[in-house]
């Protein structure tokens, strides 16, 4: 019985992690859309923000095995970013962009670190 409870807890924990990741992806996407409209970040930082989201998306999509869900989340984030309270490009919108840009950078860095580590491990295993 303990094994069944442990397996259930692991599955629940995995579901919670995926749900949290999807929620965070939505926030990051919303911040990206706000920045596209308000131009809080300079061109270089805006491009980096977009590239970070582009790094996160396929990795997260493969993890949840449903990339269409990410498209739906991004569309929802775009609608949320178009809300009246963000259209004025005020301080709240600026703080959201700054926070989500930093979060995307950190998340993409972590994903790249894991992916590059996995590639290095695979090449070590393939070596004669």
Residue of 103, 106, 108 whose CA lies nearest to 28: 103
The range of the structural domain enclosing residue 77 comes to: 2-126
Count of domains forming the chain: 1
Please give the distance of CA 113 from its chain centroid, rounded to a whole number: 15
% of residues, the chain, pLDDT over 90? 59
Judge contact between 57 and 101, C-beta under 8 A. no
pLDDT tens digit sequence for 33-68: 999 999 999 999 999 999 999 999 988 988 888 878
Judge contact between 42 and 97, C-beta under 8 A. no
Q: Residue 105 above 80 pLDDT?
A: yes
List the structure tokens of 47: 């491009």
pTM of the model: 0.80
Lowest-confidence range among 1-5, 33-37, 51-55, 114-118?
1-5
């Amino acid at each position: 019985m303990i094994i069944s409870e442990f397996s259930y807890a692991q599955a629940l924990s995995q579901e919670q992690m995926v749900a949290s990741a999807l929620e965070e992806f939505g926030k990051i996407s919303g911040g990206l859309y706000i920045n596209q409209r308000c131009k809080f970040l300079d061109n270089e930082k805006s491009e980096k923000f977009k590239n970070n989201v582009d790094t996160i998306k396929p990795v997260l999509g493969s993890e949840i095995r449903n990339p269409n869900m990410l498209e739906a989340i991004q569309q929802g984030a775009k609608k949320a970013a178009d809300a009246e309270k963000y259209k004025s490009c005020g301080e709240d919108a600026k703080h959201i962009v700054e926070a989500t840009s930093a979060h995307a950078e950190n998340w993409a860095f972590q994903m790249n670190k894991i992916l590059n580590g996995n590639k290095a491990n695979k090449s070590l295993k393939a070596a004669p």
